Amino acid sequence: MGWYQWQLFVVVGFGWASDNLWPIATSLIFAPIANEFHPSRPPLLSLSQNIGLLAGAIFWGFGCDIFGRKLAFTLTLGVTAVFGMAAAGAPNFAGIGVFAALWSFGVGGNLPVDSAIFLEFLPASHQFLLTILSIDWALAQLIATLIAWPLLGNLTCQQDTVCRKGDNMGWRYFVITMGGLTLIMFLIRFLCFTIFESPKYLMGKGNDEEAVRVVHEVARRNGKTSSLTVADLKVCEPEGYVHKANVADAVKRRLEDVKFDRVRTLFSTKRLALSTGMIMAVWAFIGLGYPLYNAFIPYIQAIKGAEFGDGSTYLTYRNSLIIAAVGVPGALLGGYLVELPRLGRKGTLSLSTILTGVFLYCSTTALNSAALLGWQCAFNFCSNIMYAVLYSFTPELFPTPERGTGNALTATCNRIFGIMAPIIAMFADLRTSAPVYTSGALFIFSGLLVLALPFESRGKAAL
């Protein structure tokens, strides 16, 4: 682990931050947009976002094997920044929905591309750093809400009042600021850091000379030397091997990663099939339960606050900031709890997921805004522990040759069920507790499923 990898750790963290920054931004602007444009079905905004996330994950995930990790690594943030800032000019609800899908198209590629390039440059002894990156995910929520408090808290129409554009400029300034922040991250990646194409990708394209050059250059930047030569790579090739490196072959290689033979391997034994099926179900149910509630937290705070007699926009976004701040130590605590012998991965994930659901149910008992804030803080704290463990535990459950396929299956389940969340919200009135009950039940059921997983990976090498 050298200086280049530590620099890469920082810029890869931008991708993790963006992955949470923009979904949180959508939830923060949901209430003012609904108040200004009066759409018949406000959750369509979240639906547009989730469709964009799914499309981005598919496009960038496949595309980085065709046009390379380097280009995708840079463009995902650039696309997000451009469409995020452009969204401020949306003239109506349909317009902001389109821009939400477009910026989410860029966001959707962050984790698949960034995790691939990071792992391909990371020595095995430091792969735990992929888990530590979760802190960027939590900090992004804190930063977004910190910026939202003055902008949305002071430049937004009050709940249940006549809302004109001139009185509701806060959300426009906010998306411009979020886009500007993402643009800064893009420029740091593009101008201040030299990202090399992954040697693994270059070898897959048959460009062994360039792969060796990159290895030597990274070693030089780390103050080391490497003895790797092109001849060393040729020795590994079977006799008579002729490499084909056109686009069609790149697509075929990518499709081979998810071919049914690899999928069947994940279900080849009773215990492995049980493990694969259950972790897919956990990702699916959490993918539905989390956005079903979390995407509408500021909106729920506003309408509940109005019922309690203190639903000012200032208090709504101040409370969102408090909720976000409480989540940061949750991400760190998760990394500690997974190594405790009596808890491990399964115990920590199950307990945090069940408590997330329990605190959601408790929030329905709130009789004032302070009580509602307390329960929502507890929800966010536990859900950050849950996600920190889930992102690190899932890859450990799959054998190395099929790990990419397993991760693809769980991510697909998560995104597809995430699309269902706003659809359910449209038919379950957000002014009632129905979405909260549904979300809480999904978390509790997911936590119980985790207990039934046949494998515990604490203290064991990955398969």
Give me the torsion for CA of 295, 299, 305, 311, rounded to 10°.
Answer: 130
Task: Count, in order, helices (H) and strands (E) of the chain.
Answer: 20, 0
Report the C-alpha gap between 287 and 281 in whole angstroms.
10
What token pair was written down for 140?
């992004």
pTM (2 d.p.)? 0.77
The answer to whether residues 193 and 74 touch, using CB atoms and an 8 Å cutoff, is no
Burial class (CB in 10 A: 0-12, 13-18, 19+), 127: middle
The answer to whether residues 282 and 450 touch, using CB atoms and an 8 Å cutoff, is yes
Residue tagged 């909720």 (tokens):
323
- What does the DSSP 8-state code read for residue 238? P
Residue 154's identity, in one-letter code, is N
- What does the DSSP 8-state code read for residue 165? G
Distances (CA, A) of 174 to 84, 145, 165: 10, 10, 14
Report the C-alpha gap between 345 and 337 in whole angstroms.
8
What token pair was written down for 191?
């101008």
The answer to whether residues 288 and 46 touch, using CB atoms and an 8 Å cutoff, is no
HEC readout, 228-240: CCHHHHHHCCCCC
Report the C-alpha gap between 65 and 447 in whole angstroms.
35
In sequence order, which ranges of 397-462 are alpha helices (DSSP H)? Answer: 403-427, 434-451
CB atoms within 10 A of CB 132: 17
Report the C-alpha gap between 461 and 403 in whole angstroms.
14
Report the C-alpha gap between 348 and 121 in whole angstroms.
29
Q: What is the pLDDT of residues 62-99, one digit of tens each?
A: 676 666 667 788 889 999 999 999 999 999 999 999 99
Residue 137's identity, in one-letter code, is W
CB atoms within 10 A of CB 173: 15
pLDDT along the chain (463 residues), means of 10: 84 88 89 88 88 84 68 88 94 94 90 73 70 82 88 79 84 95 92 79 73 83 80 65 54 54 76 89 91 65 56 73 87 79 85 94 81 88 88 75 69 84 72 76 94 72 43
The answer to whether residues 447 and 357 touch, using CB atoms and an 8 Å cutoff, is yes
Q: What is the pLDDT of residues 182-231, one digit of tens each?
A: 999 999 988 888 888 777 667 766 777 888 888 888 888 888 888 787 77
CA atoms 42, 299, 49, 289: torsion sign = negative
Q: Which of 156, 41, 45 is nearest to 430 (CA)?
A: 41
Quote the pLDDT of residue 462.
Answer: 42
With H, G, I as helix, E, B as strand and everything else as coil, classify residue 16: helix
Residue tagged 């079977």 (tokens):
238
Query: End-to-end distance of the chain based on CA atoms, in angstroms?
Result: 23
Quote the pLDDT of residue 261.
Answer: 63
Report the C-alpha gap between 431 and 331 in whole angstroms.
30
Report the C-alpha gap between 107 and 21 in whole angstroms.
9
In sequence order, which ranges of 295-368 are alpha helices (DSSP H)? Answer: 297-308, 313-337, 344-363
In sequence order, which ranges of 64-109 are alpha helices (DSSP H)? Answer: 69-86, 93-107
Q: Which of 166, 144, 146 is nearest to 155 (CA)?
A: 166
